[in-house]
Structure formats: C-alpha cells, structure tokens
Copies of this chain bind each other. A is one copy, B any other.
Amino acid sequence: MTVRQLPLPELVAHCARLGVPGVGLWREPVRAYGTGAAAALVRDAGLTVTSLCRGGFFTADDWEADNRAAVDEAAALGTDTLVLVSGGLPEGGRDLPGARARVADAIGALVPYAAERGVRLAIEPLHPMFAADRCVVSTLDQALGIAERFPAAHVGVVVDTYHLWWDDRAPAAVARAGAAGRIHAFQLADWTTPLPAGVLNGRGQLGTGAIDLTGWAALLERAGYTGPVEVELFNEALWARDGAEVLEETVRAFEEV
C-alpha cells in the first residue's frame, strides 16, 4: 500500500532489485491480478508474502463470507498471516462496548476456518481516532485481550507504530504479546502533523515524524519478535510520486531508522 501506484509485477521486480525480501499485500490488487497469478509472481521472484490485508469489518452484512474468502486468499498466497481490522460502530450506533464484544465473537467464529487452513488471524488495533468509523479495537491491550481467548498459533496481534505510539501502556502489552508468541506482524509508519481531512492518508515517511521508530524496533526485539518488519504508509503525497522512487526512498529511510 506504501507504493500502491505500482502494478504488482513492477512492485515485485523493484522489491527484488532493492533486496526487499517480502511484501505485504492488500486484497484488492491481488484479486484484480488473480490470486494464483499473484502468488506465482511473488514466489518466482524469490520473495515471500509477509501478510495479507485485510479481513475484518465485522459489522458488514456479509462479514463471514468475506472473511472466509480472505482466509482462502491468504492461504493461496502462501502467507500465514491475515490482518484483521474490526470495523467501526454500526451506522448510527453509540454502543462501543457492545460493538467490541461483537468483534470478539465474530473473530471466534472465524478461528476454526482459518486454523484449518494454516492462516493466523492478526488483530490490528487502530488509532482511537478511527474508533467510530473504522476500528473499534483501539489499543494493543484490547487486541491482545481478544487474541488471548484463542491459541497463539491461531490468533495474535499487529503492532503498528502509527496506531500505538501514543499509548503508555503499549510497551508492556508488546512484551506480553511477544512472550506469548502473539506478535504476528510489525508495521512501521511515522506520525506527521497536521493530519489531513479524514485522517486516513497522512502517515509519514519513516524518520519524518514524532515517533521514536528505532525505540519501537528495540522494543519488539526485546519482546522476542523476529518476524518481518513491514512499512505501511497511507500517504497521498507519496502515492502521487513515481512508485520506484518512493520505494527506494523508503528502503533508505528504513535502513536509517
């Protein structure tokens, strides 16, 4: 998504050229390209698919069918990790505790299907500014509280610096998640202000914002995390530029932080 302007074949070719060993993919471009073809494309370039984004949005009418499809797509891509973004309040709703309880129930209903297919569900807490319209799971403690009802091999969490950097309780939750083997993905983005309207597409290039990303990497290392580190920038200004150039810049920024 950081370089969503790049068609999949170019994305994969540039990653291979730059020594990026894996890519996290989103469902829309994968489905447009063909899931089997996308899997072959990445595999033939010697890369891995680090995760698939996203399942979740459990308030949608067709959530169960859609999430099973997402599990199938993750399995077909050869990734073991499906990221779940829970969705917000139902239209006109104000019952936040109720919405959170329904998310936990929906994840529980999805676990057996995913486990049978070797796909781990990774619950992603989103920044509290998305609690109404995108994700009622707002903290790592909440995500972990849901994940802990299930075996760690099947359900874990996503640690994304953009969403968690402000939370003084997050470091302890990272340690707890790491000790239990529940950190299923680690994603980097920086926090830059002012936020744009709608607040979705203002994630900053690594090193340009307020987050101590090096400190976060050290925190994950201390927690025993040895998996991939993904960079996920939703940023209109980056999307408007040449994708290969943005990818090269991102690789340099990643190495610097």
Interface residues in chain A, defined as those with a beta carbon under 8 Å from any beta carbon in chain B: 89, 93-97, 100, 127-129, 131-133, 138-139, 142, 165-168, 191, 193-199, 209-212, 215
Contact = CB atoms under 8 A, between A and B. Distances in A.
Contact of A197 (B89, B100, B128, B195): B195
13 contacts: A89-B210, A94-B210, A94-B215, A95-B212, A96-B166, A97-B168, A129-B195, A138-B166, A139-B168, A195-B195, A195-B199, A196-B197, A199-B199
B132 A129 contact: no
Contacts of A138: 166-168
Contact of A128 (B100, B166, B193): B166
Contacts of A89: 210
The interface residues of chain A, by DSSP majority, are classed as loop
Contacts of A94: 210-212, 215
A96 B212 contact: yes
Contacts of A193: 132-133
A156 to B, nearest CB: 20
Contacts of A97: 168
Contacts of A199: 129, 194-195, 199
Copies of this chain in its oligomeric complex = 2
Contacts of A210: 89, 93-94, 96, 131-132
Contacts of A212: 94-96
A180 B195 CA distance: 37
Given A89-B210, A94-B211, A210-B93, A167 B198 contact: no
Contacts of A131: 165-166, 210
Residue picked from A97, A129, A211, most chain B C-beta under 10 Å:
A129
A167 to B, nearest CB: 7
